[in-house]
Amino acid sequence: MWLDPACPSRRTPGSKFAWGVATASSTFGNTLNPLDPTRIPGGSSGGAAAAIGFGAVAAGLGTDTGGSVRIPAALCGVVGFKPTQGLWSTQGIFPLAAGLDHPGLLGASVDDTIVLATALGTEVQRGNAWRSARLGVIREIAPVPLSPEVSAPFEQGIDVLQRAFAVQPLDTPSLFEGVFKSFATIVLTEGGMEHFRRNDWAFITAHYGAETVERLEFAHSVVRRDYALAQQARRRFSEKLHRLMSTVDYLVLPTSPCTAPAVGEATLAIGNWSGTVREALMTYTAPFNMAGFPAISIPLAAEEHRLPAALQIVARPGEEAELLHVAQNIEHMFKAGRPLAARKK
């Protein structure tokens, strides 16, 4: 695992208190992407993802409030999984936003992730039920488009899936509208409440990193009405997502719209869109924390010397065991370059 001790002077989005997407530390230096040390590993569980991607360990634990397991998994070319919200206890985990926090797992493969999931009480049954799964494809979540480095392998992955599954493109123009803004409001409110109940402002400004202090300054400005409206938007989105998934068994979409950004990069542009690295990396993952649905990120096939892209698979609440099983078989397909069914003939 790469560590960059020179990076404390760079102003990058930090991951202290699991509040960031870069796994950057002004105290210890930045964790770097094991596939390219000029790139971030994602966060906030980037340490585990980098260690797995480097080959130091086979699997590890993480937390996922808006994508903090799936994002680093995608950027480091490993597997990241979060179950249905509330299935696994958060006892002993320092909270970021209690209403959105999920424990999560990372692994070199889905098999490695299943080993940890089984130890935590989620037993994956074998069988052929996965073969009849209906997949609903979401190609893009506005306003963040896919970069060419992601869109090409994603379409290749969908081509592989179409040979083995019933695949249905989904038209979701308004499904995700306003979801990221509501997510950000909930995180600011709940994160602020957690830190303000523990420490006074003098302690926070003296001992917290600059990025966390800045976010808590924003939290001061959130009023109760903002939080209430965000929770109402969350409930409406969850209802819409339940209705959408009554027509399919799983959603498949990119985990991240881009490959790993450069270390120290605070903003980026994808097509006609420009914004923060944080918004880019979380737009495709945070909605499923808002709804509490189980989700997994698995690597897509990558050309040699190219940074990886990833496929995200989302299941209905309570179906994480089935999700892990179908992801295991899809991973086998991607590694083989053709459907498992075709290889067995």
pLDDT of residue 336: 81
pLDDT of residue 15: 54
- The answer to whether 86 touches 292, Cβ cutoff 8 Å, is yes
pLDDT of residue 227: 95
Strands 59-64 and 79-82 come out as: unpaired
Q: What angle do CA 156, 161, 167 make, to 5 degrees?
A: 115
**Other beta carbons within 10 Å of 75:** 36
Pick the CATH number of 2-343 from 1.10.10.10, 3.40.50.11890, 3.90.1300.10, 3.40.50.720: 3.90.1300.10
pLDDT of residue 202: 87
DSSP assignment string, 10-39 = S-----GGG--SS---TTT-EEEBTTBTTB
Residues 6+ apart with CB under 8 A from 101: 63, 64, 65, 90, 93, 95
- The answer to whether 230 touches 48, Cβ cutoff 8 Å, is no
Strands 295-299 and 79-82 come out as: antiparallel
**Residue for token digits 């295991």?**
328
Segments making up each domain of the chain, as ranges: 2-343
**Other beta carbons within 10 Å of 140:** 17
pLDDT by residue for the chain (345 residues), tens digit each?
A: 333 433 333 334 445 666 678 888 777 788 999 999 999 999 999 999 999 999 999 999 999 999 999 999 999 999 999 999 999 999 888 888 999 999 999 999 999 999 999 999 999 988 898 999 999 999 999 999 999 999 999 999 999 999 999 999 998 889 999 999 999 999 999 988 888 888 888 888 887 877 777 778 888 888 899 999 999 999 999 999 999 999 999 999 999 999 999 999 999 999 999 999 999 999 999 999 999 999 999 999 877 778 999 999 999 999 999 999 999 999 999 988 644 433 333
pLDDT of residue 344: 34
CA gap 63, 3 in Å, rounded? 21
Q: How many residues in total does the chain contain?
A: 345
Using DSSP, state whether 234 is helix, strand or coil: helix
| Cα dihedral 304, 31, 331, 237 sign | negative
CA gap 37, 32 in Å, rounded? 5
CA gap 130, 299 in Å, rounded? 19
CA gap 238, 242 in Å, rounded? 6
Give the residue from 138, 77, 128 showing the smallest Cα distance to 293: 138
